[in-house]
Amino acid sequence: MDPKEEEKLIHISSLVLHEMRGSLSDEDRLFLEGWLQESAMNKHIYQRCLDEAQRRKGYASLQQFEKQRNFESIKAKLSFRSSKSRQGLMKRLWPYLAAASVLLALSVVWYWNQDNSRPVQTHLGAVNDRLPASRQAIITLSDGRQYVLNRDEKQVVIDGSGIRYDDGHKVASINAAVSAKIETPRGGTYDVTLPDGTQVKLNAGTILSYPTVFAKDRREVSLWGEAYFEVKKRKDQPFMVHTQNQQVQVLGTHFNINAYPTATQTKTTLLEGKVQVKELVKGQKVTLLPGDQSVNTGTELIKHPVNIQQEIAWIYGKFNFDGKSLRQVMDELSRWYAIDVIYKGDVPDVSFFGGTFRTSKLSTILKILKDQDLSYHLTDDGKLIIEKSDPKEQKGGQ
């Protein structure tokens, strides 16, 4: 979808919300009425947006749509067709994508105050902006050498023969270095191929360390942050991932680990194969099958079935806000947009459902999350200040 169209749909969803809450300004009302007059489809979308059951149903349908991989199929077709045929396909799909986008935006912002079940309203006062995360990473070898990776490359290979990009371009020799550490900063992601051919996607603010040559009887790596692994199957050489409070052992499988040091839980989600998770305090163990997730609190290890698409939304370029608190959502935004979030005063505890695209600018995300009881202000040095709004500033709506 064209970024301008996405911005417009998000703006429309915001106006519809303000109208439902009785806070729509005269100027915004004229804009909304103009949009309604553009087409019968717009009026149809508008009527569906007024119905809460339709909003929830629309979002549930969108989740099912993605679960069946139709959305990914459409994106693939849009990516690989010629520009002319791509434009034709987009024209035919546009009414459906428009409806889905508006309903998705509404599902994101329609959240509730947990204390009194009344809609909490936020207000965006940010003039500055932040671009989404890009390909950034630094490699540090055990002998102290450091290399900043090229932003234009997608993937790096680090093994006994050296450091090189997936196109074969060499970065450096390993020489005497026996281990390597690849680190993505906040606002950065990168893909890496390990010495055994295992593929790893690193989320923002993540560190992965491992030997340049694996031992003959095992493959061991250490992780701080979040990463998705597609492990090369080797029957006699188990693969182990060590985090701060657990270890995961596999032979060959696809799984995701979320183990940020600042988080209260470590989550391991299995997509394919079979893994054993062991927490390090009591020695508890659980075995995961596809669709299972283990949650390690540091003192307890449990497992339960999950919606995989939601849990690994970041791999598909999405944010998943389902069931997350304001602080959890802001922690994700902090890493993805490289900002520091500061809370001032008594900030209401709110929870979200829905999600949006990680390719959006920060201002777009904040428009989706905006409401009039909270004020967001982004400073020049990358600090996002959140506080309760002054009721006097809300007069006349947004």
What are the helix (H) ranges across 68-190? 70-80, 83-109
- The domain of 101 spans 1-110
Residue-by-residue pLDDT tens, the chain, 398 positions = 444 555 666 677 667 766 766 667 788 888 888 888 887 877 877 776 666 565 555 545 444 444 444 444 434 443 323 444 445 544 444 444 444 444 444 444 443 233 333 333 334 443 468 888 899 999 999 999 999 998 888 899 988 889 999 888 899 998 889 999 999 999 999 999 999 999 999 999 999 999 999 999 999 999 999 999 999 999 889 999 999 999 999 978 999 999 999 888 999 999 999 999 999 988 999 999 999 999 999 889 999 999 888 888 898 888 888 778 888 888 999 999 999 999 888 877 777 766 778 888 888 777 765 654 677 888 888 899 988 766 555 443 33
Residues in contact with 181: Cβ distance below 8 Å, sequence separation at least 6, in sequence order: 139, 140, 141, 207, 208, 209
Q: What is the pLDDT of residues 336-395, one digit of tens each?
A: 999 999 988 887 777 776 677 888 888 877 776 565 467 788 888 889 998 876 655 544
Residue written as tokens 């890009």?
134
Domain boundary among 214, 242, 273: 214
Are 74 and 157 members of one domain?
Answer: no
**CATH number for 349:** 3.55.50.30
In a domain, 357, yes or no: yes
Angle between helices 52-67 and 40-49 (to 10 degrees): 110
In a domain, 222, yes or no: no
In a domain, 175, yes or no: yes
Are 25 and 101 members of one domain?
Answer: yes
Per DSSP, the residues of 72-87 read HHHHHHHHHS-HHHHH
Are 14 and 102 members of one domain?
Answer: yes
Residue length of the chain: 398
d(CA 67, CA 61): 10
Are 264 and 296 members of one domain?
Answer: yes
Are 1 and 66 members of one domain?
Answer: yes
Are 140 and 188 members of one domain?
Answer: yes
d(CA 148, CA 136): 8
Are 162 and 249 members of one domain?
Answer: no
Identify the pLDDT of residue 357: 80
Are 338 and 283 members of one domain?
Answer: no
Are 302 and 320 members of one domain?
Answer: no
The total of structural domains in the chain comes to 4
Are 31 and 41 members of one domain?
Answer: yes
In a domain, 301, yes or no: yes
Are 8 and 103 members of one domain?
Answer: yes
Are 105 and 6 members of one domain?
Answer: yes
